[in-house]
Structure 1
Amino acid sequence: MADTRAAHGAAGRAAGHHGKCSSHAAAPRDKSPPAEPPPPLEPYPLPTFHEEGFTEKFLRKTRENPLVPLGCLCTVGILAYGIICFKKGNTRRSQLMMRARVIAQGFTFAALLGGMVATAVKSRQ
């Protein structure tokens, strides 16, 4: 491999190529005056936002996606009923309620994802 490079190097030197490419030669620089900075932008007043409390934010989010709080309430209700059935010794119904709770949690999660997708699509329009 060293012989190949040496042969190519010798052929290049024989053809007048000294390892410096003429296309990369430094072009003479134009001596134009430096550009002036752009004019300053007009100041815009900063927007003011209403500080939203917990209750206001909760109500706004509930109006935007009412299925999430509904799913949470169903999940808690099913969980509470399942625990009551377990304490009373009704293990069959308690087991059924725990399975129903998992389904309710899945519904809540799907509603949450659906709301996020809907919000993202609405914000792009």
Structure 2
Amino acid sequence: MSQRFEQDDFKDDMFKERRRNPLVLFGAAATAGVLCAGLLAFKQGNPGLSQKMMRARVAFQAITVGLMAGSTGLYALTSAQGSQPK
């Protein structure tokens, strides 16, 4: 396989996932945003705010993992129901 084919295949898969799980992308973006805010607070010497941001990051990360697991389970259930003969 050529590297070009693998890159195109990866992009197609990524777009399918975005349509199927849009909340996961929002959760990942929120996690990254809170992480950056926490690192910025740490760099500015505000340990209290930095600690709160890191705790919020863990919460956002847990929510994102829950969304991933839930959407994967929902997708598995709907695809399994669609493949069974009636």
Q: CA RMSD in A?
A: 1.3
> Amino acid of the residue matched to residue 97 of structure 1?
M
| Higher RCO, Cα 8 Å, sep 6+ | 2
Q: Does residue 87 in structure 1 map to residue 51 in structure 2?
A: no
Query: Take 1:72 and 1:58, find their aligned partners in 2: how far apart are those partners?
Result: 14
Cα distance in 2 between the residues matched to 1:105 and 1:73 = 10
Is the aligned partner of 1:69 residue 2:45? no
* Aligned-partner SS, 1:89: coil
| Structure 2 residue runs without a partner (length 5+) | 1-5, 82-86
Question: For residues 59 and 90 of structure 1, what CA distance do their matches in structure 2 show?
Answer: 39
Instruction: Identify unmatched segments of 5+ residues in structure 1.
Output: 1-50
Aligned to 2:9: 53
Number of residues paired by the alignment? 75
Match of 1:78 among 12, 34, 43: 34
Which has the higher Rg, Structure 1 or Structure 2?
A: 1
CA shift digits 1:54-85 (9 cap, x unpaired): 22211110100111111111111100110000
Segments ≥4 residues shifted beyond 3 Å: none
Correspondence for 2:66: 110
Letter in 2 for 1:89: G
Q: Equivalent pairs: percent with the same residue? A: 40
